[in-house]
Amino acid sequence: MGLLITLLGALVLSGTAAAATAPAGPVPASPGAVAPFQQADGIDVSGTLRNQDGQPLPDVRITAERDGAPAGETRSEANGRWTLTVPGAGSYLFRLDEASLPPGTEVLQGETTREVTAGSLNTVVFRFGAEVEGTDTGGFATFLRLLVDGIRFGLVIGISAVGLSLIFGTTGLTNFAHGEMVTIGAVIAWFINVGGGVQLIPATIVAMLIGALLGAANELGIWRRLRRRGAGLIAQLVVSIGLSIALRYLVLIIFGGRSESFADYTGQTVRNYGPVALTDKDLSAIVIAIVVLVAVALLLQKTRIGKAMRAVSDNRDLAASSGIDVDRVVLFVWMLGGALATLGGVLFALSELSSTVQYEMGFRLLLLMFAGVILGGLGTAYGALLGCLIVGILVQLSTLVLPLDLKYLGGLAVLIVILVFRPQGLLGSRARIG
C-alpha cells in the first residue's frame, strides 16, 4: 500500500515538475528524436469538425493566436479533420470563423474560441447545435450542471476501474497497464466504427468481446506464467509498468499521435432537463453506465462465478481448498476487466471531457482510476465505484475555484485527506490492507 501511494505521488510530482519547467518556446529535440506530437518546425494541434447531425464540415477556417499575434491558419479537410502547426509550446487561442461554416450550421452557445496549451493538450473541440433557450446560467445552475457532469465522469471512471479493483482483489496485482486496456478498447471500437463502417453500438459490443480476449491473453500469456514461476507482487508491478509503456507506444505506432472522433454521435443538440442541459449521448452514457454497474453488482451477488470471485478475493487458499478453480476465476476476472475497460474507453471518448480517441487517453485516466480505487478500498468493486463517483464529482466541482487545467487536483486532494484518517479506504478492510 505504501509503495503504491509512493509511486502515485511520484507520477503526480513528475507531471507537475514537467509542466512547471516546460519552456515557452520550441523545445530542441535530440538528433534523430522527434516527440510524438511535435514536428521539426512546431507542434501540431488538431481537431475534427462535425455538425449536430454528425456530418463533417469541410473548408472551415481555423486560426490561432498567441498573445494577440497571429500564430497560424488552416482549413478543415473533406472529412472535417484539420491540423494547424503552431511555433512551439505555450498557450494559444484558437478561433473558428463562423463565416466559413455551411449555411444553417450554428456553433453551440456561440463558443467560437478555445484556449489550448500546445504541448500539453493538442486537441481542440468545437461543438455545434442550436443554443438551448431558457437555460439558467446562475450560480446554482452551474453547480448543478457540474454535479451532473461529475456523476457522469465518475461513472465512466468507475466502469473502467471496477476491473482494476477486481484484478487486485483476486491476484494482488496493481496493474499499471490497465489504462492501456482502456485506450486499446477505444481504438478498436474506432477502427470498427470508422474503418469498417459499422454503427458505434455494435462496434462497441464487438470491441468489448475483443477486449475480453485481450484480457484473457494478458492472464494466460503473462501473469499466470509469472505467478507459476514464483514472481512476487513487486516484480509483477514493475512488469505491468513496462507493459503499460510498451502498449502505449504500440498504439502510437499503429494508431498515430492524432486525435480522432467516432463517426456517430459526435455532434448533438443539447436538450434542457430543468436547470441541467445534456445531449442525448451524455444522458445515454449515464444510463448505460448505471445499467452495466448494476449488472456487475448482480453478477457478484447472485451468480456462482460472482460468489467464487468474492471467495477468492477474501481468501485465495481457502477458496482453492473448498473446491473453487482459482485459475478459472482469475481468468474470468481478467476477461471481465478487459470488456469493462473497453466500454469505459468508448464512453470516455464520446464524452465532452475527451470527445476524441487518443493514444494517451487511458494513461490520463489511470491516475484517477487509482485514486477512486484506493479511496473506495483496494480490492472491493463497490468501493471502487463509490471512490470513482467521489473523484469524478470533485474533479468537476473543483473547476468552480481552480483553473480548468488543474481540475484533477481536487480529486487527488480528497484522496490524500481521507487516507490520512482511513488508510484502508472508505469500504476497505483493515485486514485486507494489512
- pLDDT tens string 22-57: 333 333 333 333 334 344 457 888 887 877 666 788
Domain ranges of the chain: 43-128, 139-259+275-421
Confidence band of 270 (pLDDT split at 50, 70, 90): low
Instruction: Answer for the pair 411, 394: CB distance below 8 angstroms, yes or no.
Output: yes
pLDDT digits (tens, 9 = 90+) for 271-319: 777 777 777 888 888 999 999 999 998 998 899 999 999 899 888 888 8
CATH for 43-128, among 2.60.40.10, 3.30.429.10, 1.10.357.10, 3.90.180.10?
A: 2.60.40.10
Residue, of 335 and 121, whose pLDDT is higher: 335
**333: nearest Cα among 302, 312, 362, 363:** 312
Percent of the chain residues topping a pLDDT of 70: 80
Task: Please identify, in words, the CATH class of the domain defined by 139-259+275-421.
Answer: mainly alpha
Residue, of 258 and 294, whose pLDDT is higher: 294
The pTM for the full model equals: 0.73
Q: How far, CA to CA in Å, does 163 sit from each of 110, 203, 364?
A: 40, 21, 17
Determine the average pLDDT of the residues in 405-411. 70
pLDDT digits (tens, 9 = 90+) for 192-248: 998 888 999 999 999 999 999 999 999 999 999 999 998 898 999 999 999 999 999
Helix boundaries (H) for 260-360: 280-302, 304-314, 316-321, 326-350
pLDDT digits (tens, 9 = 90+) for 127-176: 776 554 444 555 677 788 888 888 988 999 999 898 898 999 889 888 99
C-alpha cell at 392: 469524478
The Cα 183–Cα 348 span in angstroms is: 10
Determine the average pLDDT of the residues in 335-356. 85
Residue, of 413 and 242, whose pLDDT is higher: 242
Per-chain mean pLDDT for the chain: 80
Angle at 356 between CA 355 and CA 358, to 5 degrees: 140
| pLDDT for 239 | 95
